[in-house]
Amino acid sequence: MVAIYSRFGVGRFFIWVKRMNLFGRKTLYTSFEEITRDNIIEVLSLLTGDFAKNCTEINYLYDYYKGKQAILNRTKELNDYILNKIVENRFREVVDFHTRYLAGDAIKYSANDQNYANDVDKLNDFCRLEGKETLDYDLVKWYNICGTAYRLILPKIQEEEDESPFYLATLDPRCAGVAYTTKIPHTPKICWYVTTETNGVQTWSVYAKNASGNRFFEVRDNRVTRDDPYPLSELPIIEYPCGEDRMSNAEIVLPLCDAINNLNSNRMDGIEQAIQTLLVLVNCKLPDGMTANDIKAMGLIELISNENKASVEQLGTKLDQSNTQTLKEDFLSAIRTIASLPNTSDNSYSGGDNGLAVVYRNGWEGAYESAMGDQKNIDRPEYMAIRLMLEICEGTGKLSIPIKAINIDYTRQHYENMATKSQVLIAMLNNPKIHPKVAYEVSGLFYDPNKKFLEGMEWYQKHGEEGNVTEIEEDNLTTEEETI
């Protein structure tokens, strides 16, 4: 197995190129049925080629996010003494917006069965103690930078009575990976993360899922230094891919970001060239002893013509700034449309529009639909994470919850258009043919409608008018058929 990447030696191993053509990350697969001490080196060796390619591309995208972009390698053949390299980091703008929009508020869990409401709240407390809100933000940021992200969940060896029994971490995707089986449904087969010591030695911590029992391997210098059983049923590293192609919104608009940088740099060159223009002296007598180098240093050009006429003129052309700005606005409009970015700064629209009209006109509806798509991508691995956390909790005797009793709640944007949503809720609650639970879910007023419905019915049964209290059987509250 070849050492393919060093986190502390990026400058030595990563070759900076002018611009890479990127089309998402490659999904890793392995056809090995059983991964043992005897074949683990071979398994990793077959995976390192695609893993190295992904690492290089992710590192390139992360550098772009930080501002190390292709325009910094800009060169000019003519007038190279005026060479601006301006980075207008629209890539980071796209990443940060989608990260804040999806994970700016905590991703929490709620119970759709009142019998497990307290236990789910306790699971949320465990996650809060592990700093899951911050870890979710970091995970979604990697997701939006490079199209994939990884979460690590491991049981704690020892924990206090009021502490979480599991450990959570968001891994650097340049140092972690998951490979899937080649057979449908392509379940996770092996996962790993790589740590690099200051002397450059890499350690691969590898978890493999086998029918005969899951294993943990530690590999250093092409040697297996540890081979232990892994007690949990699921692998501890969970991948959060951005669709099948693992390509983020920001990566799609990368060429447009480069075009804006190039346009701004050329625009600034044009302004400087207009200021640093040359003076053309025609038939003018210069002081004795002045050399050609002296003339050049003063920004002068001396010409002799057959006409008996002397003149002094400026040599230069001005860039049409209005046409340049029009082109830039066209690039920015394309970025907003393709990357589902709302327009927060354009004041060119006027009129009496308000409410939903402004939301649709300025592109917020597109941002909302994009976030809903990201939620669908995140839900599946997030339920895998919940399943693993519950397994650890059950093993320590702290919690026992069926996974079907847990909902994933994205707490963003549930307080816009509250008047309209409240009217929908009231109208549906007053319709005797609509179940109150459906009204809570459809109105969109709450990010956790099941929990709010249960709390509302409990309050109503205690404080409602006599004779108007509706008794609702517990089965009706939790049956899957009633969930929309």
Q: Kindly report, residue by residue over 247-304, the tens digit of the pLDDT.
A: 999 999 999 999 999 999 988 888 877 666 655 656 566 666 665 555 555 555 555 6
Number of structural domains in the chain: 3
Give residue 453's pLDDT: 84
**329 pLDDT tier (thresholds 50, 70, 90):** very high
Separate counts of helices (H) and strands (E) for the chain: 15, 14
Q: What is the pLDDT of residue 8?
A: 32
**Residue 366, token pair as written in the block:** 């597109």
Place of tokens 């911050």: 134
* Residue (of 278, 283, 323, 281) closest to 304 by Cα position: 283
pLDDT one-digit tens code per residue, 307-321: 666 665 655 556 677
**pLDDT higher for 454 or 111?**
111
Does residue 17 or residue 232 have the better pLDDT? 232
What local confidence, expressed as pLDDT, does residue 15 receive? 43
Say if 232 falls within a structural domain.
yes
Could you tell me if residue 381 is inside a domain? no
Q: What is the DSSP letter of 424?
A: H
Round to whole Å and give the CA distance between 375 and 412: 11
Arithmetic mean of pLDDT, 366-379: 91
Q: Are 149 and 275 found together in one domain?
A: no
Q: Is the pLDDT of residue 67 over 50?
A: yes
Is there a single domain that holds both residue 199 and residue 264? Answer: no
Sign for the CA dihedral angle at 273, 279, 282, 288 comes to: negative
Q: Are residue 177 and residue 326 in the same domain, yes or no? A: no
pLDDT at 355: 54
Other residues' Cβ atoms within 10 Å of the Cβ of residue 94 = 27
Report the C-alpha gap between 468 and 403 in whole angstroms: 34
Q: Are strands 176-181 and 188-196 parallel, antiparallel or unpaired?
A: antiparallel
For residue 409, is it within any domain?
Answer: no
- Give the pLDDT mean for 35-60: 95
Contact indicator for 304, 284 with CB cutoff of 8 Å? no
On whether both 106 and 132 belong to a single domain, the answer is yes
Domain residues for 266?
Answer: 253-344
What integer pLDDT is reported at residue 212 of this predicted model? 92
Output the pLDDT for position 141: 97
Q: Is residue 64 part of a domain?
A: yes
State the average pLDDT over residues 344-369: 63
The reply to whether 375 falls in a domain is no
Per-residue pLDDT, 149: 97
What is the distance, to the nearest Å, from the Cα of residue 207 to the centroid of all Cα atoms in its chain? 25
- The phi and psi torsions of 249 (rounded to 5 degrees) equal -60, -40
Question: What integer pLDDT is reported at residue 276 of this predicted model?
Answer: 63
> Quick check: is 460 in a domain?
yes
Element (H, E) at 331: helix 321-338
| pLDDT band of 7, cuts 50, 70, 90 | very low
444-455 confidence digits (pLDDT tens): 787 777 778 878
Q: Is 296 exposed, middle or buried (0-12, 13-18, 19+ CB in 10 A)?
A: exposed
* Together in a domain, 180 and 154: yes
Do 241 and 267 sit in the same domain of this protein? Answer: no
Q: Please say which residue of 194, 220, 250 terminates a domain.
A: 250
Q: For residues 363 and 389, which has the higher predicted lDDT (pLDDT)?
A: 389
Tokens encoding 120? 């789910």
The 10s digit of each residue's pLDDT in 150-178 is: 999 999 987 666 789 999 999 999 999 99
Composition of the chain by helix, strand, coil, percent to 5: 45, 15, 40
Verify that 481 and 425 share a domain, yes or no. Answer: yes
pLDDT, mean of residues 47-65: 95
Mean pLDDT of the chain: 83
- Is the pLDDT reported for residue 477 higher than 60? no
22: Cα separation from own chain's centroid: 16
pLDDT level of residue 234 (50, 70, 90 thresholds): very high
Same domain for 440 and 329, yes or no, is no
Residues 169, 35 share a domain: yes
Q: Is residue 377 part of a domain?
A: no
Q: Is the pLDDT of residue 475 over 90?
A: no
Residue type, 190: I
Q: Please tell me the predicted confidence (pLDDT) of residue 159.
A: 63
Among 233, 250, 267, the domain-final residue is 250
Neighbours of 68 (CB within 10 A): 14
Q: Are 305 and 451 in a shared domain?
A: no
> What is the CA angle 291-296-300, rounded to 5?
105
When pLDDT is averaged across residues 406-420 and rounded to a whole number, the result is: 75
- pLDDT tens for residues 177-198? 999 999 999 999 999 999 998 8
Cβ neighbors of 99 (< 8 A, separation 6 or more) are 137, 140, 141, 144
- Give the chain's length: 484
463 pLDDT band (50/70/90 cuts)?
A: confident
Q: Which of 215, 250, 285 is the last residue of a domain?
A: 250
Q: Is residue 428 part of a domain?
A: yes
Same domain assignment for residues 439 and 424: yes
Q: Mean pLDDT across the stretch 44-72?
A: 94
Q: Which two tokens stand for residue 125?
A: 């407390």
High-pLDDT (> 70) share of the chain, %: 76
Is the domain of 191 the same as that of 271?
no
List, in sequence order, every beta strand (DSSP E) within 127-175: 150-155, 166-171
